[in-house]
Amino acid sequence: MRGWLGRNGIGGEKYPTFDALMEKTNFIDYIRVFCKSGHGGAGSKHFARTKFNPKAGPDGGDGGRGGHIILRGNAQLWTLLHLRYYKNVIASNGQHGDKNLKTGADGEDVVIEVPLGTVAFDEETGDQEAEILEDGQEVIWLKGGRGGLGNKHFATATNQAPEYAQPGEPGVEGWKYLELKVLADVGLVGFPNAGKSTLLSVITAAKPKIADYAFTTLTPQLGMVPYRDNRSFCVADLPGIIEGAAEGRGLGHRFLRHIERNAVLLFLIPADSNDHRKEFEILLNELREYNPEMLQKDFVIAISKSDMLDDELKAAIGKEMPAEFPLVFISSVLQQGLTELKDLLWDTLNKTSTDTGAGTP
């Protein structure tokens, strides 16, 4: 259903459906496509005939392999938009074998370039079939059928003129789908208007859309954070979560999957929230409902817009927040606490493997 959800969210606002918000965007993270790899060519059933030897024996060649459908990682891509109108991906068949032991040509492979973080699934079974994480990585998604053997292979001492050659194996076909899960070191998690886009625009060179209304960010935005000694790490600003997102409300779980790729989750809670602890627990519960494994990630909590807080209020908020997670107060507008935040994120990303620091169930 397009249009607006008839449900009141935080602050009594109505949140739009995913389709209503995404119908004009260029960020595509889900593609459904019919795929068919090539059939193998049939082996040849041929007998040699020469001037001086009219019964020279079988010389049928093998059939060629059917074309594969291959996924290839491309670091220059960040969306599946280029595949939006490719509803059928069909590889060519292998050619049949020929006389004189000539092997048929293999079918031409089809290579699909995808952004890093793409996962391929079979629609009927729901099984994951491939995952692309590195630039240039190639995975044969659907194998082409093997070519059949020519009758030369079936000649024996007792059957020197076999009248049989193998047919080629059929290719593989079916409805498949590709999902993109954004790759980033740190994912910004928070309600709409928590200040995620503003923070990203300050600590990176990214220029996300910023405005004082919910769901300004409709697509994941990536930015590189420069750090000390020419080091850096990647941060993703993800569309805001609302209560019930794991059930598909608001922008639903369409973007929750992008959080799965982040090593560290930075929970951004605005200083003017009515209940900071409750807001954090709602966000935590949405992650738990969507995928409990997300709670094994490292968490950092940042109170945004903290320029409106005095020391007494900061101390009060610090006491109500869970003590097991690092807490920092920041102001993106006044650029306060950002160096401390970067240090905290870097240390969390690069801590030793023996110090798990994982989230709580």
pLDDT at 51 over 50: yes
d(CA 12, CA 162) in angstroms, rounded, equals 80
Task: Report, in angstroms and rounded to the nearest whole number, the Rg of the chain calculated over CA atoms.
Answer: 29
Q: Residue 120's closest CA among 75, 79, 70, 172?
A: 70
Same domain, 122 and 213: no
Q: Residue 202's closest CA among 309, 341, 321, 17?
A: 341
Same domain, 290 and 263: yes
pTM exceeds 0.85, yes or no: no
5's tokens? 């959800």
According to the model, what pLDDT value does residue 243 have?
52
Taking a C-beta distance cutoff of 8 angstroms, is the pair 134, 152 a contact?
no
Same domain, 161 and 263: no
pLDDT at 24 over 50: no
Mean pLDDT on 344-351: 89
49's tokens? 């005939």
How many domains in the chain? 2
Percent over 90 (pLDDT), the chain: 41
pLDDT band per the 50, 70, 90 thresholds, residue 206: low
Q: Among the three residues 149, 164, 180, which one is the final residue of a domain in this structure?
A: 180
Q: Which of 73-82, 116-125, 166-175, 247-256 has the lowest mean pLDDT?
A: 247-256
Mean pLDDT on 203-225: 59
Which CATH number does the domain housing residue 339 bear? Answer: 3.40.50.300
Cα angle at 51 between 49 and 54, to 5 degrees? 40
According to the model, what pLDDT value does residue 221 have?
75
Domain that residue 207 falls in? 4-25+182-349
**Residue 72: burial class (beta carbons within 10 Å; 0-12, 13-18, 19+):** middle
Same domain, 230 and 321: yes
Same domain, 60 and 162: yes
- With residues binned 3-state (H G I as helix, E B as strand, rest as coil), the percentages for the chain, rounded to 5, are 20, 25, 50
DSSP 311-354: HHHHHHHHHHS-TTS-EEE-BTTTTBSHHHHHHHHHHHHT--TT
d(CA 348, CA 358) in angstroms, rounded, equals 10
Q: Which residues pair with 88 in a beta bridge?
A: 34
Cα-Cα-Cα-Cα dihedral sign, residues 73, 75, 80, 83? negative
User: 160 or 56, which is more confident?
Assistant: 160
Q: Among the three residues 157, 180, 203, which one is the final residue of a domain in this structure?
A: 180
Q: Among the three residues 146, 165, 180, which one is the final residue of a domain in this structure?
A: 180
Strand 138-142 relative to strand 14-16, pairing: unpaired
| CA–CA distances in Å: residue 156 to residues 44, 159, 161, 162 | 17, 5, 8, 8
